[in-house]
Amino acid sequence: MKEETTSYRWGWLSALAIFVLAGVTGALMRFGNIYGFPWGLQYANVRHAHSHLMYFGWVTPALMSLIASQLPAVTDRPLSRRFRWPIIMALIGGLLAYTPFLLYGYRPALVAGRQVPLSVIFAGFNIVAWYLFIWRYWQETRVSPRNYPLQLWDGAVIFLLFASLGGWGLAIITRLQIEDPFWSLAFTHIFLDTFAFGWFILGLLGLAYTTNPSAVGSKLARFSINLVVIGMPVIFLLGMPQHVVPPLLRWLGALGGLLVAAGLLGHIGVLWPLASVKWKAPLFFLGLTAVTLLITLHPSAARCATIAGLRIPYLHWLLLGFVTLGLVSAAQEKWGEEAIPGRRWMTLTVILLIISLMPLTSLWLPFLRGVWTRHFNAWASIGPALVGAGILIAVWVHGRRRQLNS
């Protein structure tokens, strides 16, 4: 069997094509704010379409492809073809929900005169892909000794399962028409926050340790994984708006956040001196996320951060700075710089985009404010999608040349 059909690079590249679409959708929001939205599109719906596509169409199948491709390195088993369907289903599920979210958001669509909640139905299709991936992962690893990357991936898939329970909870209370703001927000945040902090972060840390085996033996690494895993189940309480969370529960969330932040800083301490230069930028953004998490543990600091408009920069430090750059670094370490070019360009454009978010916060210097900040932000928002498209074109050209030469 050819390497290409078995190594899941196709899964990663297909997810990257979805990243380009999701990135263009993000840029559309920025330009839409300046010049207006085309075809009657609405800001809130475009935002849902963007965030869903990034979570479920880009990061999830890209992470699945990398974990599946790296498993032989940590289990000593041959590469398995079992992950083909979960990856394909995750790619299709991410894409299917995109158009209904873009047009209707969470509202039902009108199909043949009937109201059908298309976006929710298609989003549910993703859950099937995750469960199939978890099942395949268990089949492939159950007999293997739990070395360090496997422990991190065990944690990642357990939190993927836990996050999906938030999705089920939300669906059940909507079906039963229970209008309780605490439970509806709790399920939303179990779903999204555990997905990002549990599945994404632990999945990526597992990849970082696979390619840096000398970091595995460290005592600090072993201690740090425990902190992250113990704190993770309650971290969603910190993401919820403070007025719906009773003070005691908010402090429980803060304790969880403290453990997670300390654990993440521990991982950075272990990986920073040993990991290749490819991991420096992702680890820097993970550090920024962990420090901000620490600062906002206190309710009044969290309130100040929200008022200052730090929510969107904070999300993108983690999701773009650590997760997206980490996925590119891990892909380059797995398949080589020739097979996945453009990491430096991606890093540069992501840093530029993240810098361009700061003038939109009240932390920005007042004498540097002006209309130019919105234009700078809009133009900077296209960079990562352009680089993603450039990587795909370069891979295609390279493949054609190889075909012609062989």
Residues that bind ligand HEM (CB under 6 A): 23, 26-27, 29-30, 47, 50-51, 54-55, 59, 312, 315-316, 319-320, 323-324, 353, 381, 384-385
Q: Which is nearer to ligand HEM, 94 or 253 (CB)?
A: 94
Q: How many CB atoms lie within 10 A of CB 310?
A: 22
Q: Which is nearer to ligand HEM, 6 or 51 (CB)?
A: 51
Rg, C-alpha atoms of the chain: 21
Q: Which residues, 6 or more positions from 217, have their beta carbon under 8 angstroms from its beta carbon?
A: none
Instruction: Report the residue number whose CB is nearest to ligand HEM.
Output: 26
* Residue 152 Cβ vs ligand HEM, minimum distance, rounded to whole Å: 19
CA dist 15 and 320 (Å) reads 15
Tokens 């993108």 locate to 316
* Residue 74 Cβ vs ligand HEM, minimum distance, rounded to whole Å: 25
Tokens of 45: 């719906």
Q: Which is nearer to ligand HEM, 252 or 315 (CB)?
A: 315
Say if CB 90 and CB 60 are below 8 A apart.
yes
Q: Which is nearer to ligand HEM, 323 or 331 (CB)?
A: 323
Tokens 């329970």 locate to 165
Tokens of 129: 């892909």
**Strand ranges (E), 19-158:** 109-111, 114-116
* Residue 143 Cβ vs ligand HEM, minimum distance, rounded to whole Å: 33
* Residue 30 Cβ vs ligand HEM, minimum distance, rounded to whole Å: 5
* Residue 382 Cβ vs ligand HEM, minimum distance, rounded to whole Å: 7
Q: Which is nearer to ligand HEM, 79 or 204 (CB)?
A: 204
* Residue 142 Cβ vs ligand HEM, minimum distance, rounded to whole Å: 30
Q: Which is nearer to ligand HEM, 121 or 315 (CB)?
A: 315
CA dist 369 and 111 (Å) reads 46
* Residue 216 Cβ vs ligand HEM, minimum distance, rounded to whole Å: 27
CA dist 292 and 288 (Å) reads 6
Q: Which is nearer to ligand HEM, 47 or 375 (CB)?
A: 47
Q: Which amino acid is located at 12 in the chain?
A: W
Closest CA to 197 of 160, 150, 223, 164: 160
Say if CB 320 and CB 331 are below 8 A apart.
no
